[in-house]
Structures are given as C-alpha cells and as structure tokens.
Structure 1
Amino acid sequence: MQVQTRKHIYTPEEYLELEEKALYKSEYRDGEIIPMTGGTTNHNQIALNFASSLLYVIRGKKYRYRSIPQFKEYVLVEQNQYQVMHYSKTNEGEWIFREYKSENYLVKLQHLDFEISLVDIYQDVNFDDKE
C-alpha cells in the first residue's frame, strides 16, 4: 500500500523566513521550496535584498505569476559587479531594455510601483568574493 503525503504550499513570507535561517539556499517556485545547487554567497545576498524589499510592495496582494495576465517586467542582477538589466514591456507589446552599472542608480518597476537602489540590492555583497 502506498501512502501519499500532502505537499505543503509555502507563502512568500514563509519562504523568506526559512531562507534567512537556512544553511543551504533554495528558490521559491509556485509555493514550493526547491534546493539550489551552486548558489554563491553574493547571489544569495542579492536575492535576499531584492526579495525582502519587494515583499513590502506585494504583501497582501495576490501576485503570482500564473495569475498575472501578461508578463510585463523582469530584472537580471549580476553578482560580481554593479550591473542590473531591466526589461519592461510597453502597452504596445514592445520590450524596453535599461541597464544600470553604477551604485548611484535607482531601478524602478513601474508595473508594481516599486523602486530600489543598486546600493540596497548589493547591500552586504563582497565583490572580492568570487565563489
């Protein structure tokens, strides 16, 4: 006889709380916590800084990527230097690319009414640490 176990679906808040204390880092995908392999200290710190800041904007709202009618923005963050690549989709369906390479820049996600400085994204990141 097989016994089925019930899969726990985590909230973003639960994930962030667990991730702060975890010895090994993981990623959050559709309510599941999936172990990451090869995550570096800088990568993890950047992800934590960005997710923690973004959490204040989306708290209490029902943002899950499957429920968003159209994918409108995404951000790629380099872990070894100040570099953020921001893609934003216009109402006409065209993609606009912005690149930020200085700690003085502010990244603005218009569709979420959210902004974060590169200083905040890279807080506690050691660029000399090339894990």
Structure 2
Amino acid sequence: MQTQEKTAIANQPPTEKRYYTPEEYLALEESAIDKSEYHDGEIVPMPGGTANHNKLAGNFYKKFPSTVNTQDYETFINDLRLWIPLTRRYVYPDIMVIQGEPVYQGSNKTIVTNPLVIVEVLSNSTKDYDRGGKFLAYRSIPEFREYILIDQYSYHLEQFAKNSDGKWVLTEYDSVESVLTLESVEFQIPLSEIYERIKFEVEDEEVNEPTSEIEA
C-alpha cells in the first residue's frame, strides 16, 4: 500500500460507537442466531462454549433438587436472561437458582430478576469478567446470596457466600474428593459429581472477551 493511502486511512475519523436501548437489544436478540449480552447501551457478543463447559453446567443443574425442606426452588440453565436494573445489564448466567417463584421483568417470561444462587463455568476468555465486573453487577441484586465459579480445566471451584454481616466469604475446593456445601440452600454436591465424565483438554478457548468493568 502506498504511503499516501496509509496516511489517508490513519487520518479517517474513528467509527462512532452505536448505543442501543434495552428495547432495541431485546428485539435484535429475538431473531439473532448467537446470543449477546447488553451492557448499558452496548451489545456484547457471547463467546461459544466448549463441550466441558456444557457438561459441567449440566451436571450441576441435574443434581440440584426442586424442593429442599419443603422450600421450592426453580433452576434455570443457559437460555434464560437476567436483568440487572442497577447496572442496566442483560446477561445469560450458566445456571440460576431461584427460591420460590421467579420474578419476571414485566410480562416477558424469558427475563428474570431474582436469583438466589448463580453458577458460572469459567473459560479463558471470560474468567476475569466473571470474577470482576460481572460479579460486581450480580452483587447489586438484593436476593443474590451465593456465587459458584467452576474451572473447566482442573478440579477447582470457588464459592462466594454472603454472610449475615453482608460480607462475601470465599471458599475454594481443589480436589475431586471435596464436597461443595451451599450456604444459602441446604444442599451438598461432591466435586466428583460436578466433574462427572469431564476429560480435561488443552486450553484452546473461544475469543470475544466481554467487558470486565462496570462504569459508574
């Protein structure tokens, strides 16, 4: 390419970033082939998941009971959106556990607002976001009390539980013999069941890393 052509391209004004209303995002998402999140005006494509990612989420989902000590729970996986009003975000958690009845956004039965427990399976492209900006956004939800992060490349699980003082306490599990005990629900599950039929592979990961920060 000629020097003059390169200079002309370099001097072109940057493309203006497009911002969308929540209504525009939801309309686009209805007909989209691939899922995207909504971050206060920005539409962020979600990376594709691996087979292990799918299995780990499915293993936890299948084991979680619908009733614990006469209390009812609804468990949702992958496709249900979560609306976070304080940060104006629509996201797709891997798993959400809701105590009692789901509280939907308006009349739309595909968007909930009141998860008690959220589970995310970590990947190379999203782990910083899941531990950082996404967790910060989740913590603005009044009903939210427990966050589980599952590593898909090794036996490692992080459990963040909100205690009676409102502080988030971290417990880590690093062995297949470990047993995860939830704090917000009377439920235990061995890591051997979460990692059932998982074969650890080379960390070849998807791209499209989501934004990891929340703007004030």
TM-score when normalising by structure 1: 0.64
Pairs aligned (count): 101
Q: Which of 78, 101, 104 is matched with 1:62 structurally?
A: 101
Q: Could you tell me which residue of structure 1 aligns to residue 167 of structure 2?
A: 94
The structure having more radius of gyration, on CA atoms, is: 2
In the TM superposition, what is the alpha-carbon distance from 1:37 to its structure 2 partner?
4.0
Q: Residue 62 of structure 1 aligns to which amino acid in structure 2?
A: E
Secondary structure of the structure 1 residue equivalent to 2:181: strand
CA distance in 2, matches of 1:48, 1:129: 21
Q: Could you tell me which residue of structure 2 aligns to residue 50 of structure 1?
A: 60
Higher RCO, 1 or 2 (CA under 8 Å, sep at least 6)?
Answer: 1
CA distance in 2, matches of 1:43, 1:130: 12
More helix by share: 1
1:63–1:110 Cα change, 3 Å: farther
Q: Residue 174 of structure 2 aligns to which amino acid in structure 1?
A: K
CA distance in 2, matches of 1:88, 1:95: 5
CA distance in 1, matches of 2:165, 2:181: 19
Secondary structure of the structure 1 residue equivalent to 2:49: coil
Q: Residue 53 of structure 1 aligns to which amino acid in structure 2?
A: K
Q: Percent identity?
A: 31
Gaps in structure 2 of 5+ consecutive residues: 1-34, 36-45, 68-72, 75-98, 104-111, 117-141, 205-216
Secondary structure of the structure 1 residue equivalent to 2:55: helix
Gaps in structure 1 of 5+ consecutive residues: 1-25, 27-35
Q: Residue 128 of structure 1 aligns to which amino acid in structure 2?
A: E
Q: Which runs of 4+ in 1 moved over 4 A?
A: none
Q: Could you tell me which residue of structure 2 aligns to residue 122 of structure 1?
A: 195
CA distance in 1, matches of 2:163, 2:173: 19
RMSD over equivalenced CA pairs, Å: 2.9
In the TM superposition, what is the alpha-carbon distance from 1:66 to its structure 2 partner?
2.4
